A and B are shown apart, each in its own frame.
Chain A
């Protein structure tokens, strides 16, 4: 086992870098981080559109959400990899493909979380905000979203954790992220599949667990800063 680490740790962490393309755990982290950072605002916009009073905004987004929810991520990855280039005329690299697939897929799921968070708030807050003269966008930004996002935090984290795990699907299109590298190591060593995949599993677990704990801490802090109301009286 130690010998395994000794020989392959650098390969596991960065792939063939610097002699070849960046890969391994670093690539996984990079992909996950970028996907999170891009999917959140994308999902937020989609979610707001999903509860918009304007049909022209609501309907296309609703359609997207239903399509994405009705297909496996693997399909979305295949589309991005094989179909997208026929539209753009340019071959997308594996990293870009995975990133697009993840952002679209998670954006749609995040949109549903955002929508649920906004609707879960009840219409009283929007009515109160509009009654003091705020416009719809101002009311969203200053009154509805700050509260809704706080309620959404656990579901958002859930989705983010999924995103980290979903990066492993890059394997299928030959992206040299950490699962791909682990498989390569397994092929080279050949005799120690249990050990190799145990390390891979632990790696994902630590990433996901770390993110969960971070979110937990964030939640506790935000509750300290501003206590949510216990004044939700049944209407």
Chain B
């Protein structure tokens, strides 16, 4: 469904993505992990063109999405994107957050859009918060509304950019649960996350990135038990025993 072909991206002189070539099949759940600054967020942001690329091609269902003939808004409407900072619209209620785009883009009549949004809020367990403003919701609830908002687009693909990194620990579970259910329903997903438990239980495949390169691609079982690349092994040991290298450095 998704094909990256020798994708390169620079921020000025900084080479953020280096010859990335990957494919993601329909219905597949891919977790992208790696140290910060490794290019993993940049990679998924190129998929809905929040980031331009300088060379290479990205195909979704065979169409080059950075091509000139692509209708940008139409492309984005088919891709759900969940941000680390939620980015809910604070001046709109949870329900209005979910209905804004479908109504504004003329994809659904208001009553229809509201009914669908209610069903989605129900699905993420927040039907009772439909009329609440984002500032009245906890971080976990806000992120679940953000997922519902993305689903209201009826996306073919969902992208998650560190969806639980800004959350208090006790709220991480509720968001991951929603994501797991989504994966089980067959949604194609690319998730940038440090939640290795999620990667192990839900992902079909793990990509490990560092310095803009994909260094390792493996099933979760393979990745966690016998990662090939030394950098990946280092990363795994760092997140398993966070104090080890700090103590070594001290």
Which A residues contact B (CB, under 8 angstroms)?
124-125, 127-135, 138, 142-143, 146-147, 150, 226-231, 233, 235
Within B73-112, the residues touching A (CB, 8 Å) are 73-74, 76-77, 79, 81, 83, 85-92, 100-101, 104-105
- Known interface pairs A133-B153, A231-B139; 18 further A-B residue pairs with C-beta atoms within 8 A, sorted by A's residue number: A128-B87, A128-B88, A131-B81, A132-B101, A132-B149, A133-B76, A134-B73, A134-B100, A142-B104, A227-B136, A228-B135, A229-B88, A229-B90, A229-B134, A231-B85, A231-B134, A231-B142, A233-B85
**What 4 A-B pairs have minimum CB-CB distances, sorted nearest first?**
A133-B77, A229-B90, A128-B87, A132-B101
Q: How large is the interface on B (under 10, 10 to 19, 20 to 34, 35 or more residues)?
A: 20 to 34
CB pair A228 B100 closer than 8 Å: no
CB pair A132 B87 closer than 8 Å: no
Chain B residues within an 8 Å CB radius of A228 = 90-91, 135
26 example contacts (A-B, Cβ-Cβ < 8 A) are as follows: A125-B89, A127-B83, A128-B81, A130-B50, A130-B73, A131-B76, A132-B77, A132-B101, A132-B149, A133-B73, A133-B74, A133-B101, A133-B153, A138-B104, A143-B89, A147-B90, A226-B92, A227-B90, A228-B90, A229-B133, A229-B134, A231-B85, A231-B86, A231-B90, A231-B134, A235-B85
B193 on the A face (CB < 8 A): no
Please measure, in the bound complex, the distance between the C-alpha atom of A228 and the C-alpha atom of B166, giving whole angstroms.
Answer: 19
**Closest-CB distance, B211 to chain A (whole angstroms):** 22
CB pair B89 A130 closer than 8 Å: no
CB pair A128 B48 closer than 8 Å: no
Residue of B nearest to A128 (CB): B87
B150 on the A face (CB < 8 A): yes
CB pair A227 B73 closer than 8 Å: no
**Closest-CB distance, B63 to chain A (whole angstroms):** 16
**Which of B74, B136, B153, B166 touches A132 (beta carbons < 8 Å)?**
B153
Please measure, in the bound complex, the distance between the C-alpha atom of A150 and the C-alpha atom of B105, giving whole angstroms.
Answer: 25
Residue of B nearest to A133 (CB): B77
CB pair A132 B100 closer than 8 Å: yes
**Closest-CB distance, B247 to chain A (whole angstroms):** 29
Interface string of B213-237 (1 = CB under 8 A from A): 0000000000000000000000000
CB pair A134 B135 closer than 8 Å: no
CB pair B87 A124 closer than 8 Å: yes
**Closest-CB distance, B66 to chain A (whole angstroms):** 15
**Closest-CB distance, A228 to chain B (whole angstroms):** 6
Chain A residues within an 8 Å CB radius of B105 = 133-134
CB pair B135 A231 closer than 8 Å: yes
Question: With A124-B85, A128-B83, A131-B81 known to touch, is A150 a contact of B91 (CB < 8 Å)?
Answer: yes
Residue of B nearest to A235 (CB): B85
Within B11-62, the residues touching A (CB, 8 Å) are 48, 50
Q: Which of B48, B101, B135, B150 has the most CB of A within 10 A?
A: B101
**Closest-CB distance, A138 to chain B (whole angstroms):** 6
Chain A residues within an 8 Å CB radius of B90 = 147, 226-229, 231
Please measure, in the bound complex, the distance between the C-alpha atom of A146 and the C-alpha atom of B91, giving whole angstroms.
Answer: 8
CB pair A231 B76 closer than 8 Å: no
